[in-house]
Amino acid sequence: MDDIAPAIELVGISKAFGPVQANKDISIRVMPGTIHGIIGENGAGKSTLMSILYGFYKADAGEVFINGQKTEIPDSQAAIAAGIGMVFQHFKLVQNFSVLENVVLGAEDGALLRPSLAKARKQLKSLAAEYELNVDPDAIIEDIGVGMQQRVEILKALYRQADILILDEPTGVLTPAEADQLFRILGRLKEEGKTIILITHKLREIMDITDTVSVMRRGEMDSTVKTSETNPADLAERMVGRKVLLRVDKVPAQPKDVVLEVKDLNITDEKGVHRLKSVSFNVRAGEILGIAGVSGNGQSELLEVLGGYEKATGHVLMNGVPLDLTGAHSDGQSRRARGIAHVPEDRQHEGLIMDFSAWENTAFGYHHDAKYQRNGLLMDNAAIMQDAQEKMDRFDVRPPNPMLAAKNFSGGNQQKIVVAREIERDPDLLLVGQPTRGVDIGAIEFIHQQIVALRDAGKAILLVSVELDEIMGLSDRIAVMFDGQIMGERLPQDTNEKELGLLMAGVTDGEAA
């Protein structure tokens, strides 16, 4: 083995942004024809390291060897020339171009498009046959699903003759089935001798597919081990630097009266697409109802309707009294007044104003509260500030500085600010969307504990998450959504990921059971 040069070897890579050392003396060897995982919490420096490899950043120190050759990578063109392809977490595709046009974009052979497109069409056909990467070359990107779009990204890299493929959190937007398909494709690529680097925070994916795994922590390379010689608990401990509880610790629920009753909820958007189809369920005080499903199957719309900023037809009763779903009282203010708090799915675009300081975000959505007003005219900024400081201390937000803009906190601490704001209202019903998306393991533990504590205080909780582990770990009952409908309800102790996965893929209740 030793006489084969590694496909990628990084030696002593360091990179600082101002006083922040994002990468500290990192060395790593990735052998050709293997799948190498890189895991670490948010801010551990994974993305910085890959950005250096792809030419987005210039390292302060260190060397890059590709296939044993020392290589300078000043920009992404050089990375592509060195045979490196990258599939970003957020796809970089032109939405109204066809698959073919996207593949060719930036790699045209001349001023005229026709010959390039013809060549690409032929290439795509052979790539599709070789790697089971079937995509209709004439389909328009906005018309195809995310799984397909991801394949287009992979095809783009292969069309540019990439031998080394870097994938950044590739399964974040996929169903379990789509993820399996992706892994099959990655397996094929590996068989054909390609080298793959998989950046992820999902321990299961690392265990399932990689040959070797590197763990990064706070900008440093903690360790590189053979996947066959480790286990999830060991990896989690290496990531965080301490023992982590992977399961949520909770006592059985004590459900009481129905707090939220949803009956026959429907949404038809302006294009005539049915976003919600006769959705009915209820949530009782003292229980967590988890809604599982791949993102984009109506969960977001459901949360938006209940949160007051999407219109719908049907009936929703809150403590037995109907909510206004279309009229003047279907807004966030009215919902909050009815005892509904909402941790939205997208904290960066909904839950927080990133440019506002933490203290201003503490009042966000509750800025009409009497306790935040000084008199009829002015707001009591001092009261908001004090409130913010208390909440940040109680929820261990770091750094505990309310003057800092929300965008300057890590994902986990941003989420703690939102969760603190919503839970501290002592709501009757808490809507929670993707509570731990992009949140580091330490903060996940804390946020889960807070949600369970609210349940134990006798409140109703509606949890929406695309992470099956989270749904299984937190929920007292599980409903699965697919294509705007509830496919079925299960108790966590009576079901398993396979069954839920089938429901999430649209297999009807009878067939899945």
Partner 1 sequence: MDKMPKWADVVLVPVVSLLLAAIISVIVFLTIGQNPWEALKLMAFGAVGTSDFLGYTLFYATNFIFTGLAVAVAFHASLFNIGGEGQVLLGGLGAAVVVLLVPWPHWTLALIAGGTAAAVFGALWVVIPAYLQARRGSHIVITTIMFNFMASGLLIYALSGPLKPEGQMQVASALFPEAAHLPSLNDIAQIFGSDMFGRSPVNISILIALLACVAVWALIWHTRLGYQIRALGRSESAARYAGISAVNITMITLLISGGLAGMMAINNTMGINSPQLVDNAAGGAGFIGIAVALMGRNHPIGIVIAALLFGALYQGGAELSAATSIPVQIVVVIQALVIMFTGALDEMVRAPIEKLFIRFGRSRTVEE
Q: How far is the CB of 17 from partner 1 (least distance, A)?
A: 7
The residue from 96, 134, 313, 333 that contacts partner 1 (CB under 8 A) is: 333
Which phi and psi angles does 186 have, rounded to 5°?
Answer: -60, -35
Identity of the residue, 112 or 378, whose beta carbon is nearer to partner 1 in the bound complex: 378
Q: How far is the CB of 94 from partner 1 (least distance, A)?
A: 23
Contact call for residue 351 and partner 1 (CB under 8 A): yes
Residue 266 tokens, joined: 């429907």
Identity of the residue, 14 or 334, whose beta carbon is nearer to partner 1 in the bound complex: 334
Give the whole-angstrom CA distance, residue 93 versus residue 50: 20
Give the whole-angstrom CA distance, residue 233 versus residue 244: 8
Identity of the residue, 379 or 505, whose beta carbon is nearer to partner 1 in the bound complex: 379
Identity of the residue, 36 or 347, whose beta carbon is nearer to partner 1 in the bound complex: 347
Residue 408 tokens, joined: 């300057």
CB 62 within 8 A of CB 12: yes
Contact call for residue 354 and partner 1 (CB under 8 A): yes
Q: How far is the CB of 389 from partner 1 (least distance, A)?
A: 17
Range in contact with partner 1 (rule: CB under 8 A) among 166-174, 234-242, 332-340, 477-485: 332-340
Range in contact with partner 1 (rule: CB under 8 A) among 317-325, 371-379, 440-448, 456-464: 371-379
Give the whole-angstrom CA distance, residue 56 versus residue 17: 13
Give the whole-angstrom CA distance, residue 460 versus residue 284: 6
Q: How far is the CB of 218 from partner 1 (least distance, A)?
A: 8
Give the whole-angstrom CA distance, residue 403 versus residue 382: 12
Give the whole-angstrom CA distance, residue 236 versus residue 44: 13
Contact call for residue 356 and partner 1 (CB under 8 A): yes
The residue from 78, 177, 379, 383 that contacts partner 1 (CB under 8 A) is: 379
Q: How far is the CB of 454 from partner 1 (least distance, A)?
A: 20
Please identify which residue in the block is written with the tokens 């994938």: 167
Range in contact with partner 1 (rule: CB under 8 A) among 75-83, 134-142, 243-251, 401-409: 401-409
CB 261 within 8 A of CB 484: no
Cβ neighbours of residue 130 closer than 8 Å, sequence gap 6 or more: 188, 192
Contact call for residue 256 and partner 1 (CB under 8 A): no
The residue from 360, 387, 422, 476 that contacts partner 1 (CB under 8 A) is: 360
Contact call for residue 378 and partner 1 (CB under 8 A): yes
Contact call for residue 342 and partner 1 (CB under 8 A): yes
Contact call for residue 1 and partner 1 (CB under 8 A): no
Q: How far is the CB of 310 from partner 1 (least distance, A)?
A: 9
Helix (H), strand (E) counts: the chain: 17, 20
Q: How far is the CB of 407 from partner 1 (least distance, A)?
A: 8
- Give the single-character DSSP code of 349: I
Q: How far is the CB of 41 from partner 1 (least distance, A)?
A: 11
Which phi and psi angles does 279 have, rounded to 5°?
Answer: -80, 125
CB 441 within 8 A of CB 239: yes
Q: What angle do CA 104, 107, 108 make, to 5 degrees?
A: 75
Identity of the residue, 234 or 380, whose beta carbon is nearer to partner 1 in the bound complex: 380
CB 221 within 8 A of CB 26: yes
The residue from 332, 339, 400, 492 that contacts partner 1 (CB under 8 A) is: 332
Contact call for residue 353 and partner 1 (CB under 8 A): yes
Tell which residue, 452, 412, 475, 502, has the closest CA to residue 201: 412
Contact call for residue 383 and partner 1 (CB under 8 A): no
The residue from 122, 399, 457, 496 that contacts partner 1 (CB under 8 A) is: 399
The residue from 3, 377, 494, 510 that contacts partner 1 (CB under 8 A) is: 377
The residue from 1, 2, 19, 247 that contacts partner 1 (CB under 8 A) is: 19
The one-letter code for the residue type at 202 is K
Contact call for residue 355 and partner 1 (CB under 8 A): yes
Q: Is 105 helix (H, G, I), strand (E, B) or coil?
A: coil
Tell which residue, 147, 51, 158, has the closest CA to residue 103: 158
Contact call for residue 350 and partner 1 (CB under 8 A): yes
Range in contact with partner 1 (rule: CB under 8 A) among 85-93, 156-164, 357-365, 501-509: 357-365
Contact call for residue 43 and partner 1 (CB under 8 A): yes
Contact call for residue 412 and partner 1 (CB under 8 A): no
Contact call for residue 396 and partner 1 (CB under 8 A): no
Q: Is 350 helix (H, G, I), strand (E, B) or coil?
A: helix
Tell which residue, 124, 119, 100, has the closest CA to residue 109: 119
Contact call for residue 364 and partner 1 (CB under 8 A): yes
Contact call for residue 308 and partner 1 (CB under 8 A): yes
Contact call for residue 443 and partner 1 (CB under 8 A): no
With the C-alpha atoms ordered 258, 485, 476, 512, is the resulting torsion angle positive or negative?
positive
Give the whole-angstrom CA distance, residue 190 versus residue 166: 13
Contact call for residue 18 and partner 1 (CB under 8 A): yes
Give the whole-angstrom CA distance, residue 396 versus residue 171: 30
* In 136-224, alpha helices (H): 146-159, 176-191, 203-209
CB 293 within 8 A of CB 302: no
- Find the largest Cα–Cα distance for the chain: 78
Q: How far is the CB of 397 from partner 1 (least distance, A)?
A: 12
The residue from 89, 278, 381, 508 that contacts partner 1 (CB under 8 A) is: 381
Chain residues that interact with partner 1, rule: CB under 8 A? 16-20, 42-43, 307-309, 331-336, 342, 344, 346, 349-356, 360, 363-365, 367-368, 373, 377-379, 381, 399, 404-405, 408-410
